[in-house]
A and B are shown apart, each in its own frame.
Chain A
Amino acid sequence: AIQMTQSPSSLSASVGDRVTITCRASQGIRNDLGWYQQKPGKAPKLLIYAASSLQSGVPSRFSGSGSGTDFTLTISSLQPEDFATYYCLQDYNYPRGFGQGTKVEIK
């Protein structure tokens, strides 16, 4: 199974900051990677699919990049509603695998 290693596990940031989260796959997965946001008590929400495609309705301050084994989620200017936990997920093959999550907290 492909292992997804996400970092950092948590970070503290201020409103307006640029935030970067990384995800590394244990083997190449082309661009078959998505990023998800989850708030407490809620289902995850798809932000980015195919590594860099913005899901409909998601603000443009979210962007994704990468291919092969290394991927990045960037929030260009952190907003109050962005404080949440973020997960990457490889959909290159089965079994699917999530990263461990990154909790973005208020500094």
Chain B
Amino acid sequence: QVQLVQSGAEVKKPGASVKVSCKASGYTFTSYDINWVRQATGQGLEWMGWMNPNSGNTGYAQKFQGRVTMTRNTSISTAYMELSSLRSEDTAVYYCAREGYDILTASKGGMDVWGQGTTVTVSS
């Protein structure tokens, strides 16, 4: 079945970096953009950025510019999100999500497949 499987929980010290992986299966990895979304405990969803796995093109939310890097390895159908200069406010669950497309109506299909989430804790 179509799924995204993320890497496990991470605990990092302030100032460190974290790299979260998102492995796709059940579909052609290069055919759908991947978004990254995070959620701090008790808070709403926050969009971080997107990547086109075919071209490697990316776009980041202004808030994360200069600290986030999204990459991919097409040979293993895996997307990565690296966040550097971590601070306590980066403690959150990080999700990857596929951006779908409705072929029948030629319309955007929403974020139709989500990873299970990766908890990143930043603490000294």
Contacts and interface: CB of A to CB of B under 8 A. Distances in A.
A49 B59 contact: no
Instruction: Give the size range of B's interface with the partner.
Output: 20 to 34
Contacts of A46: 100, 110-112
B114 A34 contact: no
B45 interface: yes
State the majority secondary structure of interface residues on B. strand
Contacts, number: 74
Contacts of A89: 45, 47, 110-111
Nearest to B113: A46
24 contacts: A31-B107, A36-B110, A38-B45, A43-B114, A43-B115, A43-B116, A44-B37, A44-B111, A46-B100, A46-B111, A48-B110, A49-B112, A50-B105, A50-B109, A55-B112, A87-B45, A89-B47, A89-B111, A95-B61, A97-B47, A98-B45, A98-B47, A101-B44, A101-B45
